[in-house]
Structure 1
């Protein structure tokens, strides 16, 4: 926050809140639109039956192990979880949006919310594709908001108190997404402990 407005939130709070809300809405919708675009690209050229079969295979089962989390849908390759093309390209949208923010103004926290939003957006993109809809306001979709809170659980600590997604895995997930961002202006993985 600029020094000129520090301590004056009561005077500027409404405008700040409105700008922040609009920025969050744009961020969510950008990730949602990216998911829809990528799903459309993947499904392009498939007939109706092939599309339905593909979507069913990708979203079958629980949110803990969706096929699209893994490259080539290979769940046995757990060290590459959250590094599939569809997930990496959707998640890359977050990095494209923040690439002009100076590193010293960025949060040092892992971009968990962006990854959770990407997963929710992909699930919704599959649902919209099944319905023949190719555009939507992602921010108004209540099921995605509900689903998002469940997905956050995948990134919490397990019963033993260990991170389910290790720092090393985060580095790989971020690198896979950043490979889809041009130009790469920051190295967020430096801040991840080994």
Structure 2
């Protein structure tokens, strides 16, 4: 915080809170929109019967986990959880958004909230696409907010190890465009 603002939160607090809220809404909406886009891409060209079969296969849950959380829907490989195309591409949105934040300014904590939000967004994308409902504002979707707690409980129950987290993050980052630099060399050629 700049020195000029120290001890003046009461004066600037409302503006800071409003900016933080808008940033969070933008982050959530971006992840929600990514999930909807990916589901639309998966369904592109499928007829009504294929769409119905797809949703039936993805909406079912076994022990709280959807087949779409696993590559190739292979629930027999629990160590690959949250590394499927749809999860990785949706989760990649978080890394795309933060890629310009310097490493020293980022939290060292695992991005659990971003993964929870990604999974909630996928759930909502399935519901919206299956029912033919327009996406709307992801940030205001109460069901997604409520479901976040259940997803956090899945993490605890399924014991995602540090190695699994590394694989989940690597799978998502594989979908992030490399950062481009606007800095040009001042060394004459």
Same fold flag (TM > 0.5): yes
Alignment size in residue pairs: 180
Q: How far apart, CA to CA, are the structure 2 residues paired with 1:27 and 1:137?
A: 12
Match of 1:77 in 2: 77
Please point out which of 152, 176, 179 is paired with 1:181. Answer: 176
Larger radius of gyration: 2
Q: What is the RMSD computed on CA atoms of the aligned residues?
A: 1.5
Structure 2 CA distance, aligned partners of 1:134 and 1:8?
A: 43
Alignment partner, residue 172 of structure 1: 167
SS in 2 for 1:64: coil
1:53: Cα distance to partner?
Answer: 1.3
Distance 1:56 1:184, change over 3 A: farther
Gaps of 5+ in 2: 181-189
Name the counterpart of 2:183: none
Mapped partners of 2:42, 2:152: distance in 1: 26
Partner Cα distance (2:165, 2:3) in 1: 34
SS at match of 1:101: coil
2:144 matched to 1:138? Answer: no
1:101-140 alignment runs, 5 A limit: 101-140=101-140
Are the aligned partners of 2:69 and 2:87 in contact in 1 as well (CA < 8 Å)? yes
Q: Is the contact between residue 38 and residue 86 of structure 1 (CA under 8 Å) also seen in structure 2?
A: yes
Q: What SS is found at the alignment partner of 1:148?
A: helix
What CA distance in whole angstroms lies between the structure 2 residues aligned with 1:6 and 1:62? 51
Query: Distance between the aligned counterparts of 1:140 and 1:114, measured in 2?
Result: 17
Deviation >6 Å, runs of 4+: none
Structure 1 residues 5, 121: closer, same or farther in 2, change over 3 A?
same
Q: Counterpart in 2 of 1:192?
A: none
Q: CA deviation at 1:79?
A: 1.3
Q: Say which SS state the counterpart of residue 65 (structure 1) adopts.
A: coil
2: CA distance, partners of 1:131 / 1:51? 11
Contact 2:100/2:179, CA 8 A, preserved across alignment: no
